Each structure stands twice: as structure tokens, then as C-alpha cells.
Amino acid sequence: MPTISSFYGILIRMYFNDHEPAHFHVQYAEFKATVHIQSLTVATGELPRRAEELVLDWAELHRDALLQNWERCQSKLAPQAIPPLK
């Protein structure tokens, strides 16, 4: 599972050929979650409130790149790195 971005101890990853709907995986310490790209909602798992806010802010800024990476992963192509939240 490629890591496409990391910031403040948060890792953002995507699986190759993963199930719909388009989403990404988040790991922060012992917390794990998946986030739907279109709705920017946590689909499974949980994150601390502040980490969730940071992830959703980042995802809103990079939604187009996330969707492009989703398509790349569905085609079994390596996703491109996305800049971290600053």
C-alpha cells in the first residue's frame, strides 16, 4: 500500500485495485480510518478530532489529485505523491 503523503505523524495511503467508492486510508499512531474522497467523510475507523480535522482540510485542498491517484491505483499504476499539509 503506497504512502502518498505524510504530515504531523499522519500517513495517507491508497491500496491498488481497492473497492469502491473512491477513498484513502489514514493512520495516525494506533488510529486507523478510511475517508471517502467525494464526500470527505470518515467511512470506517476513527481518528482523534484534531487529526481528523487536519486530514479533511488536506483532502479538501487535494481532492482532484486524490481522485487521479484513485484512478491510477485502480489501473495498478503507482500513485503520485501529494504535498503534505503545511
pTM over 0.85: yes
Task: Work out the angle between the directed axes of helices 63-74 and 49-61 (0-180°, nearest 10).
Answer: 80
Cα torsion 82, 2, 22, 41: sign: negative
Average pLDDT over residues 58-64: 97
Average pLDDT over residues 46-74: 97
Average pLDDT for the chain:
96
pLDDT digits (tens, 9 = 90+) for 32-54: 999 999 999 999 999 999 999 99
Average pLDDT over residues 17-26: 93
One-letter identity of residue 20 = E
Beta bridge partners of 72: none
* CB-based burial label for 22 (10 Å; 0-12, 13-18, 19+): buried
The cell numbers describing 61, all together, are 485542498
Percent share of the chain, pLDDT over 90: 92
